[in-house]
Amino acid sequence: MGIIGSDQGYPLTAFGEMGERWVVGELRRRGYVVEWIGGRSAYDLLIEGYARAEVKSATLAKNALRGGYRWQFNLRRHGLLVDEDVLFLLCWEDLEGPPVAVFVVPGSAVYAQLSKIEITSRDPCTYRGRWSRYREDWGQVRQVVERLPARQRPLFRRRVQERVPF
């Protein structure tokens, strides 16, 4: 297993889309109505017509600062807030099979300014940190869907216009 990136011959966009397709298939298999929004929206998936979801994929990486290994999921770019209803964090070892672990995290468990989540165990199935309670917890999807009002929510984030200081 190697690190996935454009310099290794496997584009990051294709890696992300592979994870999104996998989650769509898994949710449909579990009986959910899911639309893959992908690059056309600020969110990856729309579940049951109104729950916005984000899918993040990672491979095992060496932690240069602390030693050891981690699975790192970058949640936000360009200062946008985390406001998805549910996040799916996929840990991939073999790109030919399913992820070795899936963390199904409700958006309410993630503070809006969080920029990344790290699973700090070489084997994500033995991870005991903050996010471990969400490992393979597909019941979170039902809880999120039941908690939201049954109406479609905005699929695009508003861009905040900042004044240029000159």
Asked if the structure places residue 66 within a domain, the reply is: yes
* Distance, CA of 48 to CA of 35 (rounded, Å): 8
| Residue 9: pLDDT over 60 | no
| Residue 158: pLDDT over 60 | no
71 forms bridges with which residues in the sheet?
Answer: 60, 119
Q: Determine the structural domain holding residue 95 and report its residue range.
A: 6-147
CA angle at 52 for the pair 46 and 57, rounded to the nearest 5° = 90
* Distance, CA of 34 to CA of 129 (rounded, Å): 30
Helix (H, G, I), strand (E, B) or coil at 110: coil
CATH of the domain at 40: 3.40.1350.10
Asked if the structure places residue 77 within a domain, the reply is: yes
For 96-153, write each residue's pLDDT tens digit. 889 999 999 999 999 988 989 999 999 999 999 999 999 999 999 999 999 988 765 5
Nearest by Cα to 99 from 110, 107, 108, 90: 90
Asked if the structure places residue 163 within a domain, the reply is: no
Looking at the 3D structure of the chain, how many domains does it have?
1
* Distance, CA of 30 to CA of 136 (rounded, Å): 13
